[in-house]
Amino acid sequence: MKYKHIIDFLRSLYPNKDFIPLHEPYFAGNEKKYLADCIDTTFVSSVGKYVDRFEDMIREYTGAKYAIATVNGTAALHIALLLAGVQPGDLVITQPLTFIATCNAISYCGAKPVFVDVDSDTMGMSPEALESWLTQNVDVLSLDSFELEHVQPDAAFSTGRSPLNRAQPTQQDEVRSTRRSPRPSSTIAIHKTLRRPISACVPMHTFGHPCRIDKIVDICNRYHIPVVEDSAESLGSYYKDRHTGTFGKLGILSFNGNKTITTGGGGMVLTDDEHLGPLAKHITTTAKKPHPWKFEHDMVGYNYRLPNVNAALGCAQMELLETILANKRETAMLYRELFADIADIQYQPEPPHSTSNYWLNAILLKDQIQQETFLKETNENKVMTRPAWILMNELEMFKGSLAADLTVSKEIASRLVNIPSSARLV
């Protein structure tokens, strides 16, 4: 068995386990106490003290002005994209090396993803690849100019307005038309050929490693493109001493069962925007207007509020976060030391200027043949390892999407393996 010495080392890190998972939750604090309190008080749904407390804890920890809890990270990203101004028919720039939720949320808005490459050291969106694609493919126009360009004379005459020349309206278009608001900027980035707006950019902090988010934001600001950070995997990660998810117009976190801390299922929208923060809270709670007894809703909203029982778990987990992060960093240093002496295996450390939460430790094998051999041997010996996700542009539903040169993404996908990364505190 070629990788027996590595499998033995992995087993030494997680002793007394017949099966070693990739990442399992760690419960050792007030989880049961807070859950029992929810049951005793009967506040188990979307109303309760733990929801507000969990939001306060995340807001204080990340430094964001607003933190809005949602049922999962995908819901958080969907709402963040809507608030950024993404509309049906738009284009949204993202990376192909990401979890499907990133592109699903873009699709929920009726938009289409555009894929640009990642950096080899961060595994997140490359600022150079982003800028190159924008330079070649994007014009910046005033919104008035763009709308005049797309006037349909007959429709404008009959309705008294100037509609955009887009695809036939879908059911989602009809729902959203009941509350469509103006785009958030008077200047808009337009694809030179397709003449479609590029209404957001969604970089991801891959496996918890921060991408060069400051450069991405600077580039997007020049093109008037809002940045929505997919920080689903990076609670506890910092770039230049600033928490991930707080650089863009909006950011999101995930608390799925396999994340650094978990609420079972849950997400969070982060923003400093004093208009979008309260609006996010409003539309994730079905857009219900405050009233002692009347049920009145003033726009199409979403039932995305995090239940109190999940938030209770989150509060207890946040109390353990620093302990979990410190332990995961110890594990990462052990891995780095191990793989420094093994030829043909490259350990992926935290990038420059970053503090990573090391959510999932990653290694790069020599080639795809060695990747397959490593995956086969470890999993057959009850040590869970996984490759990176299939690149989004290779999935059936996104094969027709616009894509730049994706050489680095393809290289990483053909060699990367995630190895066990749970906190070793039990």
Residue 60 structure tokens: 């204080």
Among 318, 336, 352, the domain-final residue is 318
Residue 404 CA to residue 237 CA, distance in Å, equals 28
Residue 384 CA to residue 377 CA, distance in Å, equals 10
Specify if 42 maps to a domain. Answer: yes
Which parts of 113-176 fold into alpha helices (H)? Answer: 127-137, 143-149, 153-159, 171-176
CB distance 192 to 139 below 8 Å = yes
Instruction: Please give the backbone phi and psi of residue 11, each rounded to the nearest 5 degrees, phi first.
Output: -65, -30
Is the same domain home to 222 and 358? no
Residue 36 structure tokens: 């029992």
DSSP-derived letter for residue 261 is S
Neighbours of 307 (CB within 10 A): 23
CATH value at residue 20: 3.90.1150.10
Residue 287 CA to residue 283 CA, distance in Å, equals 4
- DSSP assignment of 6-22 equals HHHHHHHHSTT-SSB-S
Residue 101 CA to residue 354 CA, distance in Å, equals 25
Please compute, for residue 89, the number of CA atoms within 13 A of its CA located in the half-sphere on the CB side: 15
Residue 308 CA to residue 266 CA, distance in Å, equals 11
Is the same domain home to 373 and 394? yes
Nearest 5°: the CA angle 88, 91, 95 is 130
Q: Which domain holds residue 244?
A: 31-318
Q: How far from chain centre, in Å, is Cα 182?
A: 25
Is the same domain home to 122 and 180? yes
- The residues near 41 (Cβ < 8 Å, ≥ 6 apart) are 48
Instruction: Please give the backbone phi and psi of residue 300, each rounded to the nearest 5 degrees, phi first.
Output: -70, 120
Residue 181 CA to residue 207 CA, distance in Å, equals 35
Helix, strand or coil, per DSSP, at residue 20: strand
Helix, strand or coil, per DSSP, at residue 237: coil
Is the same domain home to 141 and 259? yes
Is the same domain home to 71 and 147? yes
Q: How many domains does the chain have?
A: 2
- Per-residue model confidence as pLDDT tens for the chain (426 residues): 899 999 999 999 999 999 999 999 999 999 999 999 999 999 898 788 999 999 999 999 999 999 999 999 999 999 999 999 999 999 999 999 999 999 999 999 999 999 999 999 999 999 999 999 999 999 999 877 777 676 544 433 232 322 223 333 343 443 343 334 567 778 999 999 999 999 999 999 999 999 999 999 999 999 999 999 999 999 999 999 999 999 999 999 999 999 999 999 999 999 999 999 999 999 999 999 999 999 999 999 999 999 999 999 999 999 999 999 999 999 999 999 999 999 999 999 999 999 999 999 999 999 999 999 999 999 999 999 999 999 999 999 999 999 999 999 999 999 999 999 999 996
Residue 62 CA to residue 270 CA, distance in Å, equals 9
Strand order in the sheet with 361-365: 345-347, 361-365, 416-419, 386-387
Is the same domain home to 403 and 294? no
Q: What pTM does this model have?
A: 0.91
Specify if 425 maps to a domain. Answer: no
CATH value at residue 287: 3.40.640.10
